[in-house]
Structure 1
Amino acid sequence: GHVEAAIKSYKQALHLRPDFPEATCNLLHTLQCVCSWEDRDKMFTEVEGIIRRQINMSVLPSVQPFHAIAYPIDPLLALDISRKYAAHCSMVASRFALPPFNHPAPNRIKGNGGNERLKVGYVSSDFGNHPLSHLMGSVFGMHNRENVEVFCYALSQNDGTEWRQRIQSETEHFIDVSAMSSDVIAKMINEDGIQILINLNGYTKGARNEIFAMQPAPIQVSYMGFPGTTGADYIDYLVTDEFVSPLRYSHIYSEKLVHLPHCYFVNDYKQKNRDVLDPTCQHKRSDYGLPEDKFIFACFNQLYKMDPEIFNTWCNILKRVPNSALWLLKFPAAGEMRLRAYAAAQGVQPEQIIFTDVAMKHEHIRRSALADLCLDTPLCNAHTTGTDVLWAGLPMVTLPLEKMATRVAGSLCLATGLGEEMIVNSMKEYEEQAVTLALNRPKLQALTKKLKEARLTCPLFDTARWVRNLERAYLKMWNLYCSGQQPQHFKVTENDFDFPYDR
């Protein structure tokens, strides 16, 4: 929380000891969080050099995988960072000195000698008040109990919130393993006979990836928590989709890619946020000090996802659209002053930049509809926030790049059925599209109307349909394993013959 003090301390440390990789990398990350962009290119070049040297020396890189996904670095370097962290987890696992686990026999579900149901385990530290549970809350209980037996292993203590209570009550087997050591958890997973084990953390806070390095289950999968490659030889599959992780980019992933239909990114709004659709209880702009008469562009992403290139583009847009403003969040508050100064230097008027505080989830979705158009950040997209604004009926402009985290918003847009009108292919096109939609009100109004009408029917918000497709994917993984085949890339289709959801 004390960002300015942290920046000062890192700079002092580097003054005393210029060759201090941790300080250099942490300084860059902290500066990125508050949009302090002086010497940015030079610092990224320096940090990239540090990472490459560390990888060559087999030292754990000073840049964490979760930070690397939002950096403009070579995707293959991001893969190498993940590989080093995965190897570190393997080393942690080896200290427990467990003998290799015996896995369930490769017998097909409902076949001779096979279980009647597929045993699927989810491991997460985020069963509670966390974006993961806001998005996935219904999934665990929506699995079809005739075909799938679900186990949730909670790495964190009960936080007493409705999110935790709900998952706990709706999941067939919910086990709080937060007080157990990783080897004991791995043994429990193995004794439960889990056939497919899903890592919902990846390289995020609270993860215990060494459990997966112990390989308690025959098939291990990464999903949702970490939008990138784990670099782990003990993770067989990454659940994603054709737009987010096209096969032409498969070389930047260590996992085999499972392409779900539509969008891989699930959400729970149809179940939990229906009242946002009620037109009678909408917020007003005046509730937030937003100007009634201006065209409002909005970006609700954390500030670390921004970079000079996109901000310059936003400034150009503001200068080209008369009577317009950009609505941002104090996420963190320390970034506001710098972005205001940056905008002023680009010739943007002070009243054209509006900052508000971060709001609670429900209010955040509801007030998003007060904006006219959402502007996404290409370097690291709106993921949860992107889903929020689309549910609020707010169209966006997004520019996909190569890495997974740069392509999620495009996939969200495609799954509304209106992707062609929201996805662009270059920064120039991004600017033109935003300006065109702002100046051509009937065109934007038509898009907004179509988006609002699609919410209850489009695949993006159809959680039950998404869960059924996930089950198709799990059964395909298991059936490949049963037939003695290695994990392989595959694309799930909503075809019961090719991709049955029950056997």
Structure 2
Amino acid sequence: MKKNVSMGPGQRLIQQAWTAHHAGRFAEAIKLVATAKRSGASMADACYIEALATSGLGRNAEAKALAEASLRRFPNHAGFMGIVGTLEAQLENFEVAARLLKQSVALQPEAGNLWQAYGAAMFALGDYNEAKMAGEKAMALLPNDPAVVGNYASALRESGNTMEAIPVMRRACALNPLQRINRANLLFTILYDETIGAEQLRREATDWAETLARMPVDAKIPAPQPSEGDKLRIGILSNDLRRHAVAYFLIPLIANIDRTRFEVHLFSLTSVTDNVTQKIRQYAESFQDVSKLPEAEVVRRIRETRCDVMVDLGGYTGASPLQYMVHRLAPKQLTWLGYPGTTGMKEIEYRITDWTADPAGYEHNYSEKLLRAPIFSAFHPMVTNPLFIYEPKYRVHPTPALENGYITFGSCNHIAKLGPKTMRLWSKVLARCPNARLLVEAAGCDRESVREMLRTRMEQHGIDTSRVDMIPRDGANQYLTYHRIDIVLDTAPVTGGTTTCDAIWMGVPIVTFAGDTFHQRVSAPFLHAAGLDELICETEDRYVEMACALASDVTQLNEIRQSIRPRAEQSEMFDAPRFASWFEDQVTEMVKDIKPETRARGERQEGVFFGGTWYPAQDLVLSVAAHLHMREYTPLRNVLENLTSTWYRHWMVAYGLAEIKYAGGMHEEAIDLLVEAIGMRPYALPLYRKLGIWMDERGFDKSALAQLLDDQFGLALETLEASPAPTVFEILGITVEYTDNNVAEEVTA
């Protein structure tokens, strides 16, 4: 006979607290829990509900503190592990979150919400294979949750299963057609389907843009107004103001915007900050983190800044800026960089591109008016440590086949890009080059599960995986891996972008398949700038033929390798001031109906904006001279780094670094840098005199220097050496006068 067990008053209150929590009445749940604690309820249950309800009220830091305290009291309580892990993920502490959530799901494997949180944490950490596994578990338990299904689809895509991801993402959108993240992710995911063309991409983007426009924000928010004063105000909205590919193109632009005529204001849709975020902030008049604000408040805050032009720097990726820009944040709006396709949004009037990425006749692919630059973005490598471009390990090496005796094809792209079309192209190339090898660098290749997935896919396309080396991505080797690659095989239909620029800078030729949409042509403008138009292939057969032709002559391949960086560095690809000047002209033209220029435009001011101040180029030269003269090498490095944001590779920076290296005892590196400075400024005799002095001090043979002086100037080395040692002012071309008080005055630079 069964006994009737009645709940005590404490447990009844706990039950009521659960009911209130599930109904979203979080404050009521917290009150009930407080009473339950005094009535003898289970302390673990009471604390658990209290932490959940506190989080439900949006007080995540407080909820985390409560859950952590409870976890110390109940160390094996799966619920507290799950709460703390979930909150750590919300606070973007993903490594801690993943560890706790993994422990939590092991103890309660039927908790779909925890599998979902664990998968999201692993996705943020770049472990897409583990995120896919967790997503499968979550979807099995919560099959009709659109967020769960959408996250699983994203994990499928990023783990390389792009074609399988598309129907799953469409299902997620069908479960909730208004969920913004899933719809944006769908537009991004379908780029990987080679059967989807520009017309369908535009149609799907337009459909979603029109849906977004029907989701109103607070009508009381004042309409966007142009800025006051003479300067034009440029706003940039992005989810990627951090260590991200965007930085390689954004910093060269905003560091070069002429601050005598313009201001730059940044708005971040992520609370993640790192050293790149701090660097980016230095090049703007203001930086606002709007990531945690409600949608209406984001719109209000940005409109109040009164930008004349707002730039979308994300498109349909991540936390899309477009969900805010559809409400019009500035009188004029344009899209650039983030998403390789049309926004379909009538509120975005312009799109920055170029004639190679979007040749004549491509206008129908877009809802925006195309603004065609010399190249759609200037690129600078080493944005985290700009002066590293002068380091010996980043110099272009001979093509490795000269030593290896075989060709190494390579790819350093995201696994998501290694889909069926890429595999088909690579298989054909390797079949035609039976002695060649393939090197694949990608995030996740340190895990056997990822390597096995790639091996299986390659074998399905006829690739002999015994000829394939897979290595994990390591930020420290971003450029160095190219020393192991003879020829890069680009991905398709989504090509490389930043990785293409990296390869070009390291001197490695890239064979690319260029289709009829922007995302299939991202590599092409950079190859065009580097003088490698023949490597831009319009058919699959041409792609295979070109890769094999390059591989057939190693001597010629090495000559091409040695020529690529110098050509690229002299092109629009590295000319940030030119791109910034073009951009300034476009902004001035597009706003002339709302804010015409009120004063005559003078000659464009060359310089760098940094830390709230505009430094004209001449002032920077004088600053370099002063620091060198006083041997103040730490501030000198700071100035040289900021100069590199504008001038990229400049003789004065190489000379300044040479002085720093020589003073630090790195004499051979210093002499190499001085030779590099001479190569960039071949008619500056004080540099030759300095070189001769250093070579004497180190006991180096000067016959090559003597020959160079004779060839360049018809000057004997002995004649040069009869002159006194040059001062830093003489080397930098600065005339110094001394007053009666013996105070130096810089007259010209």
TM-score by length of 2: 0.55
Displacement after TM superposition at 1:255 (Å): 1.1
Q: Greater CA radius of gyration, 1 or 2?
A: 2
Identify which of 213, 228, 234 aligns with 1:90. 213
Residue type of the alignment partner of 1:453: P
Query: For 2:331 and 2:493, how far apart are their aligned partners in 1?
Result: 35
Map of 1:69 onto structure 2: 191
Larger relative contact order (CA 8 Å, sep ≥ 6): 1
* Pair 1:338-2:443 in alignment: no
CA contact (8 A) 2:413 2:499 kept: yes
Match of 2:480 in 1: 366
Distance 1:3 1:184, change over 3 A: closer
Match of 1:269, SS? coil
Matches within 5 A, 1:315-330: 315-330=427-442
Match of 2:363 in 1: 250
Larger CA deviation: 463-472 vs 379-388: 463-472
Give runs of aligned pairs for residues 292-441 of structure 1, distance below 5 A. 292-333=404-445, 334-344=449-459, 348-360=463-475, 362-416=476-530, 418-441=531-554
Name the CA shift for 1:325/1:273 in 2 (closer, same or farther; >3 Å): farther
Q: Which residue of 1 aligns with 2:614?
A: none
- Asked if the contact 2:205/2:344 (under 8 Å) is kept, the reply is yes
Paired residue for 2:232?
118
Q: 1:310-363 deviations in whole A, cap 9, x for unaligned? A: 313212222322431111123344442133234345554433111111111x52
Would you tell me which structure has more helix in proportion to its own residues? 2
1:338 to 1:469, Cα distance in 2 relative to 1, 3 A: same
Question: 1:274: how far off?
Answer: 5.2
How far did 1:283 drift?
10
Give the aligned length: 467
Q: Distance in 1 between matches of 2:280 and 2:150?
A: 37
* Deviation of the 1:101 alpha carbon: 0.6
- Give identity over the alignment, percent: 22
The one of 268, 284, 294 aligned to 2:380: 268
CA contact (8 A) 2:153 2:166 kept: no
Q: Which whole-Å CA distance do the structure 1 matches of 2:285 and 2:139 have between them?
A: 53
1:223 aligned onto 2:336: yes
Match of residue 249, structure 2, among 131, 135, 142: 135
Distance between the aligned counterparts of 2:421 and 2:532, measured in 1? 23
CA offsets, 1:394-429, max 9 Å, x none?
A: 11001111221111101111122x132321111001
Counterpart selection for 1:240 from 353, 366, 376? 353
Q: 1:117 to 1:46 in 2, by over 3 A?
A: closer
Equivalent-residue separation in structure 2 for 1:95 and 1:298 (angstroms): 48
The change in CA–CA distance for 1:460 and 1:274 in structure 2 (over 3 A counts) is: farther
1:108 is aligned to none
CA shift, 1:196, in A, is: 0.7
The code of the aligned residue for 2:191 comes to I
Greater mean alpha carbon deviation, residues 270-279 or residues 251-260: 270-279
Q: Deviations over 1:27-63 (max 9, x none)?
A: 76655544458xx5xx6996899799999x9998766
Unaligned stretches of 5+ residues in structure 2: 1-121, 606-749
Instruction: Describe the SS at the equivalent of 1:479.
Output: coil
> Residues 234 and 100 from structure 1, CA distance in 2 versus in 1: closer, same or farther, beyond 3 angstroms?
farther
Distance 1:44 1:204 in 2: 16
Q: Does 1:78 align with 2:201?
A: yes
Find the residue that maps to 2:192 and give its secondary structure.
coil
3-state SS, counterpart of residue 233 of structure 1: coil
Counterpart Cα distance in 2 of 1:225 and 1:10: 26
1:472 alignment partner, one of 564, 572, 585: 585
What RMSD in Å do the two structures reach over aligned CA positions? Answer: 3.8
Q: Determine helix, strand or coil for the equivalent of 2:592.
A: helix
Q: Is the contact made by 1:33 and 1:332 (CA closer than 8 Å) also made in structure 2?
A: no
Equivalent residue number for residue 563 of structure 2: 450
The residue that corresponds to 2:688 in the other structure is: none
Shift of 1:4: 5.7
State whether residues 263 and 284 of structure 2, in contact with CA within 8 Å, keep that contact through their aligned partners in structure 1: no
1:400 maps to a residue whose letter is: A
Give the TM-score, by structure 1 length.
Answer: 0.80
8 Å CA contact 2:160–2:415 kept in 1: the answer is yes
User: In the superposition, relative to structure 1, how do residues 44 and 464 fare at CA in structure 2: closer, same or farther (>3 Å)?
Assistant: same
Aligned partners of 1:246, 1:501: CA distance in 2, in Å? 30
1:218 to 1:345, Cα distance in 2 relative to 1, 3 A:
closer
Q: Is the 8 A contact 2:149 2:169 kept in 1?
A: no
Deviation, 1:75, is 2.3
Give the counterpart letter for 2:537 in structure 1.
V
